[in-house]
Structure 1
Amino acid sequence: MSSQRNNNTGVENSTTNSDTRLTNQFTSGSGSTGSDKPLKAYVIVVEQRRIAICPKVTNEYEAEMTELETIAIEKAKRVQVPFPNGTTSLNPPIDMSKRRRGSDGPLAKAFNNEARDHLSAEIARLFYTAGLPFNVAKNPHFISAFTYAANASISGYVPPNYNFIRTTMFQREKNNVEKLLQPIKGTWYEKGVSIVSDGWIDAQKRPLINFMAISNATPMFLNAIDGTTEFKDKHYIAKLILETISVVGAQNVVQIITDNALVCKAAGSIVEEPIYDMLRSCDTNESNLHLVYEKWDSMIEQVKWTKSHTPLHCLAHSLNPRYYCRQWLDQSPNRVAPHRDNEICTERKHCLRNYFADAHERLEATTEFVKFSSAEGELGQFDSLQDRWNLTPKEWWITYGSSVPKLQSIALKLLSQPSSSSCAERN
Structure 2
Amino acid sequence: MESSQENEIQEAQGSSSSTQKLIAPLWLYVQKLEKTSDKPGGTILFTCNFCKKPYQGSYSRVKAHLLAIPGEGIRDCPNVGKKVREMMSAQQREFENKLQSCSVSKSTKLQSCSVSKSTSSYDSIMNTLIKLDDNTKKRKTLQAQPTISDVFKKNFRDELDAEIARMFYASGLSFNLARSPYYKRVFALFAAASKIGGYSPPTYEALRTTLLTNERNRIEIILEKLKAFWPSKGVTLVSDGWSDPKRRPLINFIAINDDGPMFLKAVNCEGKVKDSMYIARLMSEVIQNVGVSNVVQIITDNASACRSAGIRMEAKYPQIFWTPCSVHTVNLALKSICAPKNTEKHAFIYAQCNWISKVMSSVIMIRNFVTQHSMRLAIFRKYSRLQMLHIVDTRFASHVVMLRRFKKIASFLKLMVVGDEWVAYRKDDEAKARTVKDKVLDDSFWDEIDFILNFTEPIYNLIRAFDKDRPGLHLVYPMWITAMSKIKKSIYTHEKKKEDEESLLWDAVHGVLEMRKKQCTTPLHAIAHSLNPKCATKEWQLQHPDVLPSHCDREIAQLRNEYLKRFFPDDKLRAKVKNDFASFLACSGTFNDANSKTERSTMEPLNWWTMHGAEAPHLQHLAAQILRQVSSSSCSERNWSTYGFIHSAKRNSLTPKRAEDLVFVHTNLCLLSRKTKDNADADGDNALWDIAGDANVCMTNLELLQFANLSLDEPQLEEQILTNGAQVEVSEEVE
1:350 counterpart = 2:562: yes
- Range moving further from structure 2, 92-101 or 410-419: 92-101
Contact 1:217/1:287, CA 8 A, preserved across alignment: no
Aligned with residue 271 of structure 2, among 229, 253, 259: 229
1:322–1:142 distance in 2 versus 1, CA, 3 Å: farther
Could you tell me which residue of structure 1 aligns to residue 477 of structure 2? 293
Contact 2:299/2:632, CA 8 A, preserved across alignment: yes
Separation in structure 1 between the aligned mates of residue 117 and residue 575 of structure 2, nearest angstrom: 80
SS in 2 for 1:360: helix
- Range moving further from structure 2, 165-174 or 236-245: 165-174
Could you tell me which residue of structure 2 aligns to residue 275 of structure 1? 323
Separation in structure 2 between the aligned mates of residue 217 and residue 357 of structure 1, nearest angstrom: 30
Cα deviation 1:315-369 (Å, max 9, x = unaligned): 0010001111111222354432101111111110110111111112111211110
Contact 1:197/1:209, CA 8 A, preserved across alignment: yes
Contact 1:208/1:226, CA 8 A, preserved across alignment: yes
1:137–1:234 distance in 2 versus 1, CA, 3 Å: farther
Aligned with residue 241 of structure 1, among 261, 270, 283: 283
Could you tell me which residue of structure 2 aligns to residue 386 of structure 1? 598
Aligned with residue 193 of structure 1, among 218, 235, 241: 235
Code of the aligned partner of 1:283: D
Code of the aligned partner of 1:284: K
1:79–1:98 distance in 2 versus 1, CA, 3 Å: closer
SS in 2 for 1:373: helix
Could you tell me which residue of structure 1 aligns to residue 572 of structure 2? 360
SS in 1 for 2:600: helix
Contact 1:289/1:313, CA 8 A, preserved across alignment: yes
1:146–1:191 distance in 2 versus 1, CA, 3 Å: farther
Cα deviation 1:250-300 (Å, max 9, x = unaligned): 011000011222221121121125311223341211100001111221233
Cα deviation 1:59-82 (Å, max 9, x = unaligned): xxxxxxxxxxxxxxxxxx9999xx
Structure 1 residue 205: Cα displacement? 3.2
SS in 1 for 2:587: coil
Code of the aligned partner of 2:479: K
1:422 counterpart = 2:646: no
Structure 1 residue 216: Cα displacement? 1.9
1:226–1:217 distance in 2 versus 1, CA, 3 Å: same
Separation in structure 1 between the aligned mates of residue 204 and residue 127 of structure 2, nearest angstrom: 33
Could you tell me which residue of structure 2 aligns to residue 398 of structure 1? 610
Could you tell me which residue of structure 2 aligns to residue 313 of structure 1? 525
Could you tell me which residue of structure 1 aligns to residue 244 of structure 2? 202
Structure 1 residue 191: Cα displacement? 1.0
Separation in structure 2 between the aligned mates of residue 143 and residue 178 of structure 1, nearest angstrom: 33
Aligned with residue 180 of structure 1, among 222, 227, 232: 222
1:373 counterpart = 2:585: yes
Structure 1 residue 192: Cα displacement? 0.6
Q: What 5-or-longer segments of structure 1 have no aligned partner?
A: 1-76, 81-87, 102-131
Separation in structure 1 between the aligned mates of residue 561 and residue 311 of structure 2, nearest angstrom: 20
- Range moving further from structure 2, 242-251 or 292-301: 292-301
Separation in structure 2 between the aligned mates of residue 143 and residue 352 of structure 1, nearest angstrom: 65
Aligned with residue 219 of structure 1, among 247, 261, 268: 261
Could you tell me which residue of structure 2 aligns to residue 118 of structure 1? none
SS in 1 for 2:240: strand
- Range moving further from structure 2, 202-211 or 383-392: 202-211
SS in 2 for 1:357: coil
Separation in structure 2 between the aligned mates of residue 143 and residue 201 of structure 1, nearest angstrom: 38
1:182–1:332 distance in 2 versus 1, CA, 3 Å: closer
Separation in structure 1 between the aligned mates of residue 258 and residue 632 of structure 2, nearest angstrom: 14
- Range moving further from structure 2, 166-175 or 221-230: 166-175
Separation in structure 1 between the aligned mates of residue 184 and residue 310 of structure 2, nearest angstrom: 42
1:255–1:143 distance in 2 versus 1, CA, 3 Å: farther
Q: How many residues align?
A: 314
Structure 1 residue 222: Cα displacement? 0.6
Separation in structure 1 between the aligned mates of residue 121 and residue 194 of structure 2, nearest angstrom: 22
Q: What 5-or-longer segments of structure 2 have no aligned partner?
A: 1-114, 133-173, 315-320, 331-462, 489-509, 642-735
Could you tell me which residue of structure 1 aligns to residue 300 of structure 2? 258
Separation in structure 1 between the aligned mates of residue 179 and residue 613 of structure 2, nearest angstrom: 51
Code of the aligned partner of 2:629: Q
SS in 2 for 1:243: helix
- Range moving further from structure 2, 399-408 or 378-387: 378-387
Separation in structure 1 between the aligned mates of residue 630 and residue 184 of structure 2, nearest angstrom: 35
Separation in structure 2 between the aligned mates of residue 146 and residue 209 of structure 1, nearest angstrom: 42
Q: TM-score, normalised by structure 1?
A: 0.63
Could you tell me which residue of structure 2 aligns to residue 331 of structure 1? 543
Separation in structure 2 between the aligned mates of residue 344 and residue 198 of structure 1, nearest angstrom: 29
SS in 1 for 2:569: coil
Structure 1 residue 203: Cα displacement? 3.4
Separation in structure 2 between the aligned mates of residue 202 and residue 287 of structure 1, nearest angstrom: 30
Could you tell me which residue of structure 1 aligns to residue 620 of structure 2? 408
Whose radius of gyration is greater, 1 or 2? 1
SS in 2 for 1:339: coil
Separation in structure 2 between the aligned mates of residue 192 and residue 270 of structure 1, nearest angstrom: 21
Code of the aligned partner of 1:285: D
SS in 2 for 1:336: coil
Separation in structure 2 between the aligned mates of residue 142 and residue 403 of structure 1, nearest angstrom: 64
Q: How does 1:128-167 map to 2 (within 5 A)?
A: 134=176, 149=191, 151-154=193-196
Cα deviation 1:205-235 (Å, max 9, x = unaligned): 3322111111224211110111222211111
SS in 2 for 1:406: helix
Code of the aligned partner of 2:596: S
Q: How does 1:53-132 map to 2 (within 5 A)?
A: none
1:268–1:148 distance in 2 versus 1, CA, 3 Å: farther
SS in 2 for 1:195: strand
Cα deviation 1:156-209 (Å, max 9, x = unaligned): 778899999999877754543232112211111011110111222333433221
SS in 2 for 1:212: strand
More helix by share: 2
Separation in structure 2 between the aligned mates of residue 238 and residue 354 of structure 1, nearest angstrom: 20
Contact 1:289/1:418, CA 8 A, preserved across alignment: yes
1:224–1:392 distance in 2 versus 1, CA, 3 Å: same
RMSD: 4.1
Structure 1 residue 100: Cα displacement? 8.0
